[in-house]
Structure 1
Amino acid sequence: MEKAVELDNQYPATHRDAMCIPTYESMGLRAPSANFSKFSPVTYLCGNSLGCMPRATREAVNSELDAWADRAVESHFRHRGEPQGLTSWVDIDLPLSNLLPSVVGGLESEVAVMGSLTANLNALLVAFYRPNSQKFKIICEKGAFPSDFYAFLNQCAIHGVDPEEALVRLEPREGETYLRTDDIIKAISENSEQLALVCLPGIQYYTGQLFDMKKITLYAHQFEDVVVGWDLAHAVGNVPLQLHDWGVDFACWCSYKYLNAGPGGIAGIFVHEKHAQVASHTQEGYMPRLAGWWGNNRERRFQMKEVFEPISGALGFRQSNPSVIDVVALRSSLEVIKDFGGIEALRERSLLLTGYLLKLLQNSPFYHESLTATPQSKPGFTIITPLDEDERGAQLSLLFSPHHDDPKLDTMEQVFKYLNERGVIVDERRPDVIRIAPAPLYNTFQDVFRTVDLLNKALQHV
């Protein structure tokens, strides 16, 4: 613990007080020892699943509730808080176009907040996946988050394409836990003549692998009419991104993980400026999409004319007016991130935190270097996340053994229960994985130490 205290003094969590960390009392847990009270914060290393709430969010949301109560529909154009810098609802999402570009490495015209992750992925696929008899294949991963796979499968059904022929689903080599970049490159090359789309996660949700987005995007674009899109659910707010410079065609993300915008918070999209051409649906050059009035020319939006003239850039892909509450919740969090120093500063501290976590885990008597080295007879774990810091974000995924179908006897389930009861909040992914993700915005090195210390004690009791 002395080393953890030293590291916290050297690299403090300067914005921890800006966040609401659950307490033992609020979680319905008993303080584990005399060193903790019911008001002590728990050890929350689950920001990869749901980020903690910024304290500023409550005031931001309440301001909009007050506007709704006091002026109702008039708040769309005459917000009571305008003198204090608040935005009328007709433009409520536009200030985020100033905050998001630095997070994703895009231009203001290339980003928009809208909808939810899967809805946005489906919308972008409608616009960007345009298969024909020659170019129809989609490169994705076999272990993709199920929602992504459903979206790809649905696109095949919409276009009358056989998914067995269209979906090139990549998986790690036998005995390995994550994809090699060279194998992705090889798959692109081998399928290039029939390839229409490459769509992969920036960071794999299960293993925590950070893909080489720049290399993969640039390589795929060597081939004619290949579109590259990224699901950035676990990458946005976690690692630096340069979507514009990499030439990414489109990307989408959620905001409730590392962006701390709240459960089901409003999501976002990126559309590269090379796709920003504007034409009405009656003109040549129009890019078909899931169209809606909020993506229409703002000056004509309320004229209710039957001509769809999309706004240039990502804003033209919006469909409906956004949830005001969700927008201001995201805005309050993005302002905290900006005040911290932005994504580069977060990444710098993240590497230190997760590096410390990795070191402690590798020093555990229960750690095994590989799957084949894990004895099935006694409890232990291996790390299925790449050990190279350039190939991962904040998250480390631990695979436990032995497995048992009875949760009361299963190693992972017992460890997870032991940690949770003592106020260490992490994430389980059945059957055998626990994901641990120190959030650089609010987690401490002492959080990390306590997590590994209790993990070791849990395995002693299994």
Structure 2
Amino acid sequence: MTISKTTYQNTLAFAKEQDVKDPLSHFRDRFHLPIDKDDNPLVYMCGNSLGCQPKSVATYLEQELNDWANLGVEGHFEAENPWMPYHEFLANQMADIVGALPSEVVIMNTLTTNLHLMMVSFYRPTATRHKIIIESDAFPSDRYAVESQIKHHGFDPSESLVLWQPREGEELCRYEDLEAIVKEHGDSIALFLIGNTNYYSGQCYPIQKITELGHRNGSKVGFDLAHGVGNILPDLHKNGPDFAVWCSYKYLNSGPGSLGGCFVHERHHRNTKLNRFSGWWGHNKDTRFNMRHGFDPIPSAEGWQLSNPPILSMAAVKASLDIFAEAGMKNIRAKSIHLTGYLEFLLDDLNHDRISVITPRDPEQRGCQLSIQVKNADRSLHDQLTKAGVISDWREPDVIRVAPAPLYTSYEDVYMLVEKLKQIL
């Protein structure tokens, strides 16, 4: 499907026509879509906070509940999907989504826990190299984690935390300003930890360029892909960061508070001198149950696991990843570019001085989210949208975030969102 802005049309008929032509449109029926108290469908644009539930989740969960009931502990080996290697069932599909080798990814823990585990290994400060670069408007949990790691090592965040921030009067970070930071701070930088895609602005940072910049400087490089996984094509193996972490309840649709994921580049897998917090599920599988061996890490991302996986939560992850595998991440991304382009076209067509889009216009610099800045930071516009049946979210001080997730959002949804916004304005 190829649609240029010159062929977009601001009509309901056009939106419906695109839905008919959309090769992924049938996946919408694979999800439960939110409704109001009168069972009327809502326009759901909040997949960047919590993805819709795949209808198959109930079946996947029921399978594990039945196996638990009927098999007890033997379910570890005899279940329809044996629990012992359950996390391994997810590796190939997860690797396809983030552009990694299966050995480089593992589903485990939650995002901030994984962030701390990665910093144990890849933030090794010294008296002269102890600084961490993050974007100034990083998600709060990232900043809290980074500050606490700096303090844990006996340093002061006011000296060791370096912020990559937009220029005065601008909303987006410029790569050349990151280069200037590196030139200024040089070999005092131990780690680049960048959130990609930014939760507030929707800006997607160039993973390869940042990774190369950091490595040339002798720094380690990691990314928080909470808003990128299932949304952009990060190509982690090729682009080469040392690590990445993500959650699975946004674009990966695995349920509130569900498990996170982790990427560790294969060049680190056999480095037994690398510090890590260890647990028995990261131990050599051949001797894991011989409880008297010293820790022998699995030479893959699995070596960073701590505990045996929570199967019931993983069942929901599996249900969603099976849908992603069927749809194909490249196909999802292609629709996302066109669908968000249509949203941008319709918002531009409003031509209203009260709102503006701060997200980059270049599709390569964003995912599906557009961040609508509201003049005078008036939240009432968001509240009125909610009453009109549009589920989006408000982020202080002045942004409404909307995210047409391509697996279940239609062109008609996008059209109706902007029509309701137009009526309110």
Give 2:409's match in structure 1, choosing from 412, 420, 443: 443
Distance 2:406 2:131 in 1: 39
Q: Alignment identity in percent?
A: 42
1:287 to 262, 268, 274: 274
Q: Note if contact 1:112-1:269 (Cα within 8 Å) is conserved in structure 2.
A: yes
Measure the CA separation in 2 of the matches of 1:46 and 1:259: 13
- Residue 287 of structure 2 contacts residue 293 of structure 2 at CA under 8 Å; is this kept in 1? no
Look up the SS of the partner of 1:140 in the other structure.
Answer: strand
Q: How far has the Cα of 1:67 moved from its partner?
A: 1.2
After superposition, residues 241-390 of structure 1 pair within 5 angstroms as 241-277=234-270, 279=272, 286-340=273-327, 342-366=328-352, 368=353, 380-390=354-364
Which letter maps to 2:34? Answer: P
Distance in 2 between residues matched to 1:64 and 1:348, nearest whole Å: 34
The offset of 1:72, in angstroms, is 1.7
Contact between 1:51 and 1:257, CA under 8 Å: does it hold in 2? yes
Aligned equivalents of 2:358 and 2:48: distance in 1?
Answer: 16
Give structure 2 stretches of 5+ with no counterpart.
1-11
For the 8 Å contact 1:262–1:329, the answer to whether it is kept is: yes
Aligned counterparts of 1:278 and 1:136: Cα–Cα separation in 2: 22
What is the alpha-carbon distance in structure 1 between the residues aligned to residue 35 and residue 326 of structure 2? 25
1:365 and 1:385 mapped to 2: Cα distance? 16
Q: Which amino acid aligns with 1:458?
A: I
- Aligned equivalents of 1:186 and 1:330: distance in 2? 41
Partners of 2:111 and 2:246 within 8 A in 1: yes
The one-letter code matched in structure 1 to 2:364 is D
**What value does the CA root-mean-square deviation take over the aligned residues?**
1.3
Residue identity matched to 1:351: I
What's 1:201 paired with?
A: 195
Aligned pairs for 1:374-453 within 5 A: 380-403=354-377, 411-412=378-379, 414-453=380-419
SS of the equivalent of 2:106 reads strand
1:162 Cα deviation from its structure 2 partner: 1.5
Letter in 2 for 1:208: G
Aligned to 1:371: none
Match of 1:232 among 213, 225, 233: 225
Structure 1: how far apart are the matches of 2:406 and 2:376?
Answer: 32
Q: Which residue pairs with 1:48 in the alignment?
A: 48
Match of 1:70 in 2: 70
* 8 Å contact kept, 1:278–1:309: no
Contact 1:381 1:401 in 2 (8 A): yes
Greater Rg over alpha carbons, structure = 1
Unaligned runs of 5+ in 1: 31-37, 82-86, 280-285, 369-379, 404-410
The whole-number CA distance in structure 2 between the counterparts of 1:20 and 1:362 is 31
Deviation track 1:346-401 (CA, whole Å, cap 9, x = no partner) reads 111001110010011111142x4xxxxxxxxxxx1111111211111100001112
Structure 1: distance between partners of 2:93 and 2:16: 33
For 2:211 and 2:169, how far apart are their aligned partners in 1?
27
TM-score by length of 1: 0.87
Corresponding pairs, count: 413
Give me the whole-angstrom Cα distance separating, in 2, the residues matched to 1:256 and 1:107. 22
TM-score by length of 2: 0.95
- Which residue matches 2:20? 9
Partner of 2:160: 166
Q: Residue type matched to 1:175 in 2?
A: G
TM-superposed CA distance for 1:123, in Å, is: 0.7
Residues 76-134 of structure 1: CA distance to partner in whole angstroms, max 9, x if unpaired? 1221x2xxxxx211111011111111111111110001000000001100111001112
Q: What amino acid maps onto 1:235 in structure 2?
A: G
Separation (CA, whole Å) in 2 of partners of 1:287 and 1:278:
6
Q: CA deviation at 1:278?
A: 5.4
Q: Is the contact made by 1:428 and 1:434 (CA closer than 8 Å) also made in structure 2?
A: yes
Cα displacement string for residues 385-440 of structure 1 (whole angstroms, at most 9, x for unaligned residues): 1121111110000111223xxxxxxx32x222222223211111123211000011
